[in-house]
Amino acid sequence: MINKMKRTHMCCGLNETHAGQEVCVMGWVNKQRDLSHFVFIALRDRTGLLQIAFDKDMANKELLNKALAVRGEYVIAVRGKVALRTEKDVNPAMETGKIEIIASELNVLSEAETPPFQLLDEGVREDLRLQYRYLDLRRPELQRNLFNRHKTYQVTRNFLSDEGFWEFETPVLANSSPEGARDYLVPSRTHPGHFFALPQSPQVFKQLLMASGFDKYFQITKCFRDEDLRADRQPEFTQIDLEMTFADMEDIFSLGEQLVGKIFKEVIGAELPAKFPRMAYAEAMQRFGSDKPDLRFGMELQDVSDIVAGSEFAVFQNALNDGGSIRGICAQGQAAMPRKQIDSLVEFVKDYNAKGLAWVIYAETGEIKTTISKFFSEDKIKNIINRFNAKPGDVIFLCADKTNIVLDALGALRVELAKRMGILNPNEFKPLWVTEFPLLDWSEEDNRFYANAHPFTAPMDEDLHLMEVGGTELGKIRANYADLVINGYETSSGGHRIHRTEMQNKMFEILQITPEQAQAGFSHLLEAFKYGYPPSAGMAFGLDRLCMLMCGDSSIRDVIAFPKVKDASCPLTKAPSVVNNEQLNELGINVIPQNVE
């Protein structure tokens, strides 16, 4: 009992069938209105809004005065009878718009100061919302998002349990890895000078569970990466992690399609195809300039290097002479785009190391305007237009540079144009498996190969021989690995694991991980290989990104209760913070001051 009152219903748990019943509801005052004959309070809880009515002619003046005294965000308890509203007073915008509570008792459980911002004001700065996140989380949109997240947890657990997976917890305090992103390190008090690392993924532990014979493992787990943040990235994030023994990539595809399809269906009612299309990495890059293409729209890249080759246009010819290419995209119906917007797109691609853009405007009238007209004949320009199948009213953007820069810049430009054109439907979902990734990425800066995914991914059988050839041929090895892409976001990665000692050691050798480093970081896994290690395959889903997509948001911060901001800090708790010298001395740590620009 709270102040001798017991809640009987949530706000939106009431409807017309409860008319005449005495009920007790509790929540926050969303708004109070003092009208000529009535005082109305819109009461809010996580289910929605409910109207409470107080008749100014009532004999109980103490109750009326209490109603007049409450303000927004007061926490109150109300007892009263459910009444049907008159036809003219029905509010179709409210779930409970056909009823109201005629109050007989009101208790103020907690008063509230005026909030630092209006909860429903869309113009409030995000940093202010995050500073007062507990207020921000009272917004119906965020409460809906986090309810969808809750449902995602439940659907996942139920589905995987029904499929024979066992849920495990793996350690949060683990070893630092010589590969991958930067670790978050935790100093050890009991082992001076030694550090734990927070896991970037449970990869090694789940492979050890497969070595233990558990066959099917999963967990919904926190992972940590000390890397720069983006709208779809956080330093601590949640993933649905799973692994299976005696499984291949077809098992990965099938399980992933079933799980994601079930999540989308049960959480938001969206129907995904039973089988997701597949596309090789090389094809995705050539057609879309990205290994995570958004298939909700076309605007595919076209190569016009053969058409413009041999021209006197130095920008194009120099790119070709250096082994690069000239490619472009066609924005349909955008020929009337103002010059100022075109110039902004030229600047946009410079962020992707491109030097700029050339453009060809094919006006509605049939007139052609272009920045390259003096270098190419009318026939050449028409050949370019035909290559893109452009129609009057379209505009073509061309980029010339090293091919990797061209693909990267045009891939980003394609998405930026789609956003500006308003053709991205957040309620449409286009899943795609991107397959046959390069096993290894070459770093010009470090003059060495790095693992595209992680050092435990197996190569495709057809490319095994290239591991022995070595040299530049290593860059041609394809990984037995795939990403699940939805609407331009990587939502899952999965692949087949190396399960033989000799191949794992060969991978470490290629990655320039010394035997000493391998033993320091992965001795437990390498030991397990000696005692009958089964073939296995697994995957991990970015739960935050899945929820972001289902909620129609563009930032994962909107589906995380207490997110970090761009500099990996928490505006609410002010973490990270300085600790006192006593704590540092216990850990044997001396902090060296640094000048931060």
- 118, pLDDT greater than 80: yes
Q: Which residue has the tokens 């007073």?
A: 89
Given this model, what pLDDT does residue 484 score? 98
Given this model, what pLDDT does residue 521 score? 83
SS (H, E, C) 207-225: HHHHHCCCCEEEEEEEEEC
- The domains found in the chain, sorted by start residue, are 11-110 (2.40.50.140), 142-269+432-560 (3.30.930.10), 297-424 (3.30.1360.30)
Token pair for 250: 């077809």
The 10 Å CB-count burial string (b at 16+, else e) for 275-300 is ebeebebeebbbbbbbbbbbbbbebe
- 229, pLDDT greater than 80: no
* Least confident span in 109-113, 169-173, 176-180, 292-296: 176-180
Q: Which residue has the tokens 């989308």?
A: 264
Strand duo 236-245 + 278-280: pairing: unpaired
Residue 117, Cβ neighbours under 10 Å: how many? 16
Cα 12 to Cα 132: distance, rounded to the nearest angstrom? 26
Given this model, what pLDDT does residue 180 score? 66
- 596, pLDDT greater than 70: no
- Residue pair 434/281 in contact (Cβ under 8 Å)? The answer is yes
Could you read off the pLDDT of 253-301 as tens digits, one per residue? 999 999 999 999 999 999 999 999 999 999 999 999 999 999 999 999 9
Given this model, what pLDDT does residue 2 score? 84
Residue range 48-64: mean pLDDT, rounded:
91
- 173, pLDDT greater than 60: yes
Cis peptide leading into residue 92 (ω within 30°): no
Determine the 3-state secondary structure of 521 from DSSP: helix
User: At residue 591, what is the residue type?
Assistant: V
- Residue pair 447/218 in contact (Cβ under 8 Å)? The answer is no
- 59, pLDDT greater than 80: no
Residue range 59-87: mean pLDDT, rounded:
94
Could you read off the pLDDT of 479-508 as tens digits, one per residue? 999 999 999 999 999 999 999 999 999 999
78 CB-contact burial (10 Å; exposed 0-12 / middle 13-18 / buried 19+): buried
Cα 8 to Cα 26: distance, rounded to the nearest angstrom? 9
- 48, pLDDT greater than 90: yes
Could you read off the pLDDT of 287-296 as tens digits, one per residue? 999 999 999 9
With bands split at pLDDT 50, 70 and 90, how would you rate the model's confidence at 206?
very high
With bands split at pLDDT 50, 70 and 90, how would you rate the model's confidence at 121?
confident
Could you read off the pLDDT of 406-424 as tens digits, one per residue? 999 999 999 999 999 999 9
> First vs last Cα of the chain: how many Å apart?
56
- Residue pair 193/527 in contact (Cβ under 8 Å)? The answer is no
Average pLDDT score, the chain = 94
Given this model, what pLDDT does residue 120 score? 84
Cis peptide leading into residue 140 (ω within 30°): no
* Least confident span in 111-125, 222-236, 319-333: 222-236
Determine the 3-state secondary structure of 342 from DSSP: helix
